[in-house]
Amino acid sequence: MSDLAPETRDWLRKNGFAVATEDLWVEALTHGSLGEARDYDRLEFLGDRVLGLSIAHWLYEDGPDAEGRLAQRLNALVDKASCARIASELGASEHIRLGKQARADGTAESDNVLGDIMESLLGAQFLEAGFDSARELVHLLWRDAVESTAGRAKHPKSALQEWAAGNQRRSPRYELVERSGPDHQARFTVKVSIHNVGEAEATASSKQEAETEAARKFMETFG
């Protein structure tokens, strides 16, 4: 008997997922904290590639942007924060299968976990209905993001690097100030500084995201 709750099955179908093999979708929504033999890790790996190819092809067909601009937009559209935002908009946190303590710790609201879940669901869609179906689902869920300015502006770290070079300053220096929280809900505080200019700090759920936010704050203050 499947462990897929009826309300979760209905939620998946309402959002365009082709639910037939229910055990597959149970796996896609199962966090490692539950201690079951299969969790979403393998499907996340697959879904990450499905998403990347779907978005890359979409951007390629969308206009004549050069490779550098295509890569910039792709990275912005498929990063963990983008996946987490879409999963949150769908209400995915209510349907993640978690251990009791992880649920109490707020793991279902973690950007890292929500991003992973979004990718695992796309992996399940690919296995259940094929690549064309998964790509259509990506087009449905990512349309607003693709049509927005996401990835069109220069990445904050690139902008800061160019600003420093253009102003005859030393390259930005990034330093991990603090890492806190359990592994499944870690928080990273990063400081970026430029000699004889100033510094800025930011905290996020990954070191890379904290560096990006710190660079953005630095440019807002000193750029």
The residues annotated as belonging to the active site are 48, 119
Instruction: Specify the amino acid at residue 196.
Output: N
What is d(CA 83, CA 41) in angstroms, rounded to the nearest whole number? 15
Other Cβ atoms less than 10 A from the Cβ of 107: the count is 21
Residue 187, beta-bridge partner list: 180
- In the block, residue with structure tokens 């055990």: 23
Q: Determine the residue type at 79.
A: D
Q: Determine the Cα–Cα distance for residues 184 and 144; give it in Å rounded to an integer.
A: 29
- Cα distance between residue 181 and residue 199, in whole Å: 24
Whole-angstrom Cα Rg for the chain: 19
